[in-house]
Amino acid sequence: MGVWDIYPAIDLRRGRVVRLKQGDPDRETQYADDPLHVARRWQAAGTAWLHVVNLDGALDEALYERGKQNLAALVRVLTTGLKVQFGGGMRDLGAVRRALDLGVSRAVIGTAAVENPALAEAALAEFGPERIALGLDARDGIVRTHGWKEDTGITVVEMGQQWAEKGVRWVIFTDVSRDGMGTGLNLNATVELAQTTEMHVIASGGVASLEDVRRTYEAGLSGVIIGRALYEGSVVLEEALHVGKE
């Protein structure tokens, strides 16, 4: 068994901790006003990592004030000393550099990897493959961009293989139809991506139970992101973290 980590999700919208159902900004549930309080809660449970998303950036809603709010929230979260995987609206090399300079451990590039491959290639060259991850979000096996709103016509496996050849080692795969729905992961598609690309694939979207977490470990994936299930109590983080130690 290789590396496997749990990533509690902190999704930021206008500085607040929220979750969206299927990436729909009109289907938002707010869980906290203070991201730092949430980060400390997951830290106390024993996590080493957090997965933080700038939803305003991912949804192309990064107006100046909103951008400031999420940036301030990220800075506060980083004071915990936890490793942070951060994405959302990474549209230029400067944004990637700023995040990593702040102390982010791994930056996630999604839309830009499709629309501006040169950016992702430059980020890989400058920061190395351990600090850059590819964010692949899909519906019905087809990659979507701009906060899951636009259909690219490219399959997840095709995109994954293209970037594996370019040196990407880390991928976060999200099945958009399941994200925030609590209906269980699309494990088959996630495992297929890992097997066909031989990259470190982190599962995301739809974790509903401890069994979902356990299945990602047993399938040999490199991690799992858990959001709504933690906030609503269907998964207890301490129990999830114990899975890899059983």
Residues carrying an active site annotation: 11, 137
CA angle 168, 165, 2 (to 5 degrees): 50
Other Cβ atoms closer than 10 A to 238: 11
Q: Give dist(CA 48, CA 8) in Å, integer.
A: 10
Other Cβ atoms closer than 10 A to 1: 7
CA angle 89, 18, 152 (to 5 degrees): 40
Q: Give dist(CA 59, CA 134) in Å, integer.
A: 17
Q: What is the 3-state secondary structure (H, E, C) of 107-173?
A: EEECHHHHHCHHHHHHHHHHHCCCCEEEEEEEECCEEEECCCCEEEEEEHHHHHHHHHHCCCCEEEE
